[in-house]
């Protein structure tokens, strides 16, 4: 084990399940805050803006501000800016749309208009007509961008369809593979490092889902900590070819390791 100067945390399955906090989430952030170790939260959720995410964490007693949060919608916005894409069609909710509008990206609703890209994010009120417009625009040359590949998302009701399920429908219809922005793509972590001036060797990525959280850390060349509180069980992770740097059952276990290391 080493002393990390910066931490990046997944949310669903690591900090909370739906509307229920996970044991140890508040305590580990309190510990890092006490030790003056900077931290950020990383989520594939595109439906919420950073302030919404911060307020949810605050409702659990977790110290969080808007500046602590990076969403897949924010990373998608940065991708569009970097690639000079200014007109898009969006399948997604207000969190995604408002994030794009904040960068003066125009959202077009009519498939007869030309667009630079079709953005697919989680939309819990999606219709056949939205899918039809998206596929027509992609066939006419628009880039196909997905905010994240999560086929399922954990909620208090159980596992529910995620944005990856919506993306698969569009991909199946068009035969076009999307550009995927969120985890396990390293873009989101690299954007956090760029914005904060952090060095990869000083960062620990913490998450429950091997196929998203842990792989995005591996792809970004940062150390990783798997917690056995969400999607991927410890037994499942042990069968993976590339192992996380560390594995613990709970965040409490990692707090104990940090305390032991500092003694």
Catalytic residues: 10, 12
* 23 annotated to bind ligand: no
Query: pTM for the complete prediction?
Result: 0.86
Strands 246-248 and 16-17: unpaired
∠ CA 186-150-47 to the nearest 5 degrees? 90
Residue 188: φ, ψ to 5°: -65, -45
Burial class (CB in 10 A: 0-12, 13-18, 19+), 233: middle
The CA distance from 163 to 145, in Å, is 12
* 12 annotated to bind ligand: yes
Strands 106-107 and 117-120: unpaired
* 208 annotated to bind ligand: yes
Domains of the chain in sequence order: 6-44+183-262 (3.40.50.1000), 78-180 (3.40.50.1000)
Q: pLDDT in tens for each of the 263 residues of the chain?
A: 789 999 999 998 899 988 889 999 999 999 999 999 999 999 998 998 899 999 999 999 999 999 999 999 999 999 999 999 999 999 999 999 999 999 999 999 988 889 999 999 999 999 999 999 999 999 999 999 999 988 887 677 877 899 999 999 999 999 999 999 999 999 999 999 998 999 999 999 999 999 989 999 999 999 999 999 888 888 998 999 999 999 999 999 999 999 887 76
């Amino acid at each position: 084990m080493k002393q990390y100067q910066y931490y990046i945390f997944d949310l669903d399955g690591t900090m909370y399940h739906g509307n229920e906090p996970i044991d140890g989430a508040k305590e580990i952030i309190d510990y890092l805050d006490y030790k003056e170790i900077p931290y950020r939260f990383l989520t594939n959720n595109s439906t919420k803006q950073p302030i919404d995410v911060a307020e949810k964490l605050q409702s659990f007693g977790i110290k969080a501000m808007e500046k602590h949060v990076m969403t897949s919608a924010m990373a998608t916005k940065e991708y569009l800016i970097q690639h000079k894409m200014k007109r898009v069609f969006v399948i997604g909710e207000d969190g995604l749309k408002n994030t794009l509008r904040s960068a003066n990206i125009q959202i077009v609703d009519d498939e007869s208009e030309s667009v630079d890209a079709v953005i697919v994010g989680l939309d819990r009120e999606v219709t056949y007509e939205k899918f039809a417009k998206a596929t027509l625009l992609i066939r006419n040359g628009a880039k196909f961008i997905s905010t994240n590949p999560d086929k399922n998302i954990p909620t208090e009701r159980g596992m529910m369809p995620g944005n990856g399920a919506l993306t698969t429908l569009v991909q199946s219809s068009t035969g076009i593979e999307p550009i995927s922005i969120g985890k396990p793509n390293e873009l989101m972590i690299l954007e956090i490092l760029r914005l904060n001036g952090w060095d990869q060797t000083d960062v620990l990525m913490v998450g429950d889902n091997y196929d998203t959280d842990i792989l995005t850390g591996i792809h970004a060349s940062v150390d990783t900590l798997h917690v056995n509180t969400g999607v991927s069980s410890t037994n499942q992770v042990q069968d993976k070819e590339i192992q996380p740097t560390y594995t613990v059952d709970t965040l409490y276990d990692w707090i104990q390791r940090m305390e032991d290391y500092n003694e």
